[in-house]
């Protein structure tokens, strides 16, 4: 895990903003919570998700979470109110990703990019696909 000051320095060096939560951010968190009911079907076995097991050559860094560390969870903004949770869940080796399990962050703290990620398009309804596409733009 990381120290508070090291994490803040790393985040700021990557251009991620740390700001207080406002009404718009509360609405955004409510939208993110809607993904709790979506089964992304990652199905981790022996530390590897279903998609990487199916097409291992396609995923150089592992699953869609493989670059979490370098991209700091694909975050653009962190709210002051949640900073302690981000720090406590961060790992300098794997980012917010826990090998074999997935993201350490709660749904409402994940980036739109992460919440909109899906590898098996044919299993999603048109509505789910559109909703997840919109999340990636947040």
Residue-range domain boundaries for the chain: 4-136
What is the reported pLDDT for 28?
Answer: 87
Nearest CA-CA partner of 44 in 53, 36, 35:
53
What is the reported pLDDT for 6?
Answer: 92
What is the reported pLDDT for 121?
Answer: 61
Distance CA 130, CA 57 (A): 28
pLDDT tens-digit profile of 22-46?
998 888 888 888 888 777 777 777 7
User: Which pTM was predicted?
Assistant: 0.79
Which segment of 3-12, 39-48, 58-67 scores lowest on mean pLDDT?
58-67
What is the reported pLDDT for 38?
Answer: 77
Output DSSP code: residue 45.
B
Task: Give residue 79's pLDDT band: very low, low, confident or very high (50, 70, 90).
Answer: very high
What is the reported pLDDT for 97?
Answer: 85
- CB count in 10 Å sphere of residue 6: 12
Task: Give residue 49's pLDDT band: very low, low, confident or very high (50, 70, 90).
Answer: confident
SS3 content of the chain, % helix, strand, coil (to 5): 50, 10, 40
Find all residues with CB under 8 Å of 99, minimum gap 6, and list them.
47
Q: Which residue has the higher pLDDT, 62 or 125?
A: 125
Helix (H, G, I), strand (E, B) or coil at 37: helix
Where on the phi/psi map is residue 47: left (φ > 0), alpha (ψ -120 to 50), or beta?
A: left
Distance CA 9, CA 62 (A): 27
Distance CA 12, CA 31 (A): 26
Residue 94 phi/psi, 5° resolution? -120, 0
């Amino acid at each position: 895990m990381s120290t508070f000051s090291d994490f803040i320095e790393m985040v700021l060096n990557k251009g991620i903003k740390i700001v207080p939560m406002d009404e718009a951010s509360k609405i955004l968190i409510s939208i993110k919570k809607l993904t709790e009911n979506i089964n992304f079907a990652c199905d981790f076995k022996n530390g590897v998700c279903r998609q990487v097991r199916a097409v291992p050559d396609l995923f150089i860094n592992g699953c869609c979470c493989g670059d979490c560390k370098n991209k700091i969870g694909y975050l653009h903004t962190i709210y002051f109110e949640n900073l302690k949770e981000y720090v406590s869940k961060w790992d300098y080796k794997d980012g917010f990703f826990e090998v074999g399990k997935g993201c350490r962050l709660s749904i409402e703290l994940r980036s739109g990019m992460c919440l909109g990620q899906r590898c098996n398009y044919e299993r999603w309804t048109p509505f789910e696909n559109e909703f997840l596409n919109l999340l990636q733009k947040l």
